[in-house]
Structure 1
């Protein structure tokens, strides 16, 4: 009889790991402390709850590394991608989802699987026997984090994640704002109008920057000196780096034409992306913040079109812990000092929903193979999953290791074959090579 795999954490990585192992015919016990014990960021006890953005980012699998990762997860029968597609929202070229139905559907599929049992309650210690996957994500409980720290003999690295606010659509002034995806991207009219845009002239932008810099911010507790992940910087931290930073980042005005004043070029534009299927909620894109609640409402209502905005959720900030995986994990994602324990998801040092789920997919498949007396090697480094696992388990410099999104810089270089390729052609070559290699890896698993 095959012994069960125990998985701690029902986020993106844990959910995907449980699904992959069970689909391989291995029983799974999924441990989740919610709703018995909550976190700062979660609102429900559902699996795969999206606590920050509702976007899985670009779905372009021909010229984008994260889109390629989508493709690989679909090819491997990934539950997260299947449910994301089922609850997809218009978002131009991005894969955005209706977050609550998405999480509920993942939960129902996992709870309904005959080989998956769910145990509610906190796990506070590292297990000494059995097969375990720790996929507790950025909000690993204090007790379990201490147990991991004691085992590894090293201080866990940490940084801070920030969350963007969500606005009720009915409170947005559409006589000022307009709907349009950047560069009108999308195959349908719904996709080409997936974002709400709020324009600013120069004076409005400068006043907004002044208010951001002057606003009351959440201060860290004594001893908390961790930095931020660059892909999730609070908006006020970006503003501190230079007054033009936001105008060249989340507030860039390019690719947009004001439907109310088509001849007037905005100095900056704030974009809001649909957050649910009903279109009643929109999140402010790139506006992660550590401002205090009162300051948020004052500052964000300075945005033209949001003067009377009503917020379904204000932004916030939370601590994110992760391992120095290059020194602690082997290429099967096992803890070197305790081979019965694997890690998956953001706690390994990948960043993003998709990257976390992808590492869960690999951990689940590897653990299932091991439970059946087999050995599953990681995908080739030419693939998106292979590039990520290679990076976190030895490809990165352990001394400077920081969380990483998937990107083509992690892939082995493409041979230009005597000539220079344009960027689009080069990225297409990366994805073509990756798809072939990934299909061969899947075929080798029988």
Structure 2
């Protein structure tokens, strides 16, 4: 039996390799560290947690908590290991990252069906079943080969994501649906500002605290001119935003019949209008500052943020165009992808992708049809979103209840839902 090749030994790749091997199929897992490292990694351990040591909420009325519980039922190795090496963290699942990584590394290294190869893969293998789990810091040679395979418009090297809010938490007494100059259908929610509201917002924005950039991100910051953080635009002058993303031209306020001083627009992230993206609000502000400042926008005072803005070096696929809901590439069925490379955000989501890609790679070897997870699962809803969202504005997405289908009858209370 030919070995399945898994490229990348992060959370997704580790989970993926284990799920293949547990079905009796040999796996070759490639991890370039320690011979070639990334700017974010510090050890040679598999499944290294490069940022926080927290997997997020434990309770199942929170999206990350529900996803973890699903993965426990599905037999996830990584979540099982996280539970084993948990440390006190209130309502979150946090781990002793040294013990966590060491344990997973030993399990993978010593598994009789897994061959761990410490070497950089610089080109996509052209034969056999292959799973890409190289993450947001895919090495430059492989990223270039992936670029040639996907086409330039379907691979992004910088994650400049705007915040996303739940539609039901937007005050529709302040925000109104319209498109500029009433062209086409009313596709945007518009939050109008008076001059006084804009001045207060602008002042808070230019004085808000930014998140520190890593050295490699700081060095590459010059590439962000085409998608500047909203706070950087604001610092260029009081009216800079009013001639940019907050331009009020062609957007009359139906309550007054007049043009507002400034307008924040939100664009729907899904067909049901459950999630809305703040247009042009890519930002490098600290997350607490984002919530404080952006809730000053009329209509967003009580907004619930399902994703906050980020701006850092990242490599991710335009998955809605490239991938099936099985995580197979549309143009090459024996090539799969998982983890943050496919546009999911967060540790638990990366593990979920590794589980699904590994399960489906094994099923392909065994001649079984690949699985598609139902969208009534948090795991299924996340995969459904990243493989069906509008390609033009696609950005990475964390698990959240806004991507799940509505219940009939609709239930607004999150705990009950």
**Taking structure 1 as the reference length, what is the TM-score of the superposition?**
0.63
Partner of 1:339: 333
Per-residue deviation, 1:421: 3.6
Partner of 1:390: 384
- What is the DSSP-based 3-state SS (H/G/I as helix, E as strand, rest coil) of the residue aligned with 2:146? helix
Per-residue deviation, 1:372: 0.8
Partner of 1:41: 40
Residue 314 of structure 2, aligned match among 286, 310, 320:
320
Partner of 1:407: 400
- What is the DSSP-based 3-state SS (H/G/I as helix, E as strand, rest coil) of the residue aligned with 1:364? helix
For the structure 1 residues 339 and 422, does the alpha-carbon distance in structure 2 shift closer, same or farther, using more than 3 Å as the test? closer
| 8 A contact 1:160–1:227 mirrored in 2 | no
Q: How does 1:431-446 map to 2 (within 5 A)?
A: none
| 8 A contact 2:27–2:113 mirrored in 1 | yes
Does 2:364 correspond to 1:374? no
Partner of 1:329: 323
| 8 A contact 2:373–2:380 mirrored in 1 | yes
| 8 A contact 1:379–1:385 mirrored in 2 | yes
How far, CA to CA, are the matches of 1:246 and 1:426 in structure 2?
Answer: 28
- What is the DSSP-based 3-state SS (H/G/I as helix, E as strand, rest coil) of the residue aligned with 2:130? strand
Does 2:408 correspond to 1:423? no
For the structure 1 residues 227 and 322, does the alpha-carbon distance in structure 2 shift closer, same or farther, using more than 3 Å as the test? farther
Per-residue deviation, 1:233: 6.1
For the structure 1 residues 233 and 49, does the alpha-carbon distance in structure 2 shift closer, same or farther, using more than 3 Å as the test? farther
Partner of 2:89: 91
How far, CA to CA, are the matches of 2:135 and 2:356 in structure 1?
Answer: 16
Residue 105 of structure 1, aligned match among 92, 103, 106:
103
| 8 A contact 2:228–2:282 mirrored in 1 | no
- What is the DSSP-based 3-state SS (H/G/I as helix, E as strand, rest coil) of the residue aligned with 2:43? coil
Partner of 1:137: 135
For the structure 1 residues 216 and 112, does the alpha-carbon distance in structure 2 shift closer, same or farther, using more than 3 Å as the test? closer
Residue 75 of structure 2, aligned match among 77, 87, 101:
77
Q: CA RMSD in A?
A: 3.4
| 8 A contact 1:350–1:403 mirrored in 2 | yes
How far, CA to CA, are the matches of 2:335 and 2:211 in structure 1?
Answer: 47
For the structure 1 residues 237 and 91, does the alpha-carbon distance in structure 2 shift closer, same or farther, using more than 3 Å as the test? closer
- What is the DSSP-based 3-state SS (H/G/I as helix, E as strand, rest coil) of the residue aligned with 1:412? coil
Partner of 1:361: 355
Summarize deviations over 1:388-436 as a string: whole Å, max 9, x none: 111112x2111111100011111111112xxx64513542xxxxxxxxx
Does 2:58 correspond to 1:59? yes
**Taking structure 2 as the reference length, what is the TM-score of the superposition?**
0.67
How far, CA to CA, are the matches of 2:411 and 2:56 in structure 1?
Answer: 25
Partner of 2:223: 223
| 8 A contact 1:41–1:318 mirrored in 2 | no
How far, CA to CA, are the matches of 1:98 and 1:212 in structure 2?
Answer: 29
| 8 A contact 1:158–1:320 mirrored in 2 | yes
Per-residue deviation, 1:216: 10
Unpaired segments ≥5 residues, structure 1? 163-205, 249-287, 290-316, 428-446
How far, CA to CA, are the matches of 2:412 and 2:107 in structure 1?
Answer: 43
| 8 A contact 1:159–1:227 mirrored in 2 | no
| 8 A contact 1:238–1:246 mirrored in 2 | no
Summarize deviations over 1:330-369 as a string: whole Å, max 9, x none: 2221222222211100000000010011001000000001
For the structure 1 residues 245 and 347, does the alpha-carbon distance in structure 2 shift closer, same or farther, using more than 3 Å as the test? same
Per-residue deviation, 1:235: 4.0
For the structure 1 residues 415 and 111, does the alpha-carbon distance in structure 2 shift closer, same or farther, using more than 3 Å as the test? same
| 8 A contact 1:59–1:66 mirrored in 2 | yes
For the structure 1 residues 358 and 214, does the alpha-carbon distance in structure 2 shift closer, same or farther, using more than 3 Å as the test? closer
Partner of 1:159: 158
Q: How does 1:220-259 map to 2 (within 5 A)?
A: 220-224=220-224, 225=226, 234-235=284-285, 239=289, 244-245=292-293
Unpaired segments ≥5 residues, structure 2? 162-202, 230-276, 297-308
How far, CA to CA, are the matches of 1:154 and 1:215 in structure 2?
Answer: 29
How far, CA to CA, are the matches of 2:318 and 2:25 in structure 1?
Answer: 29
Per-residue deviation, 1:50: 0.4
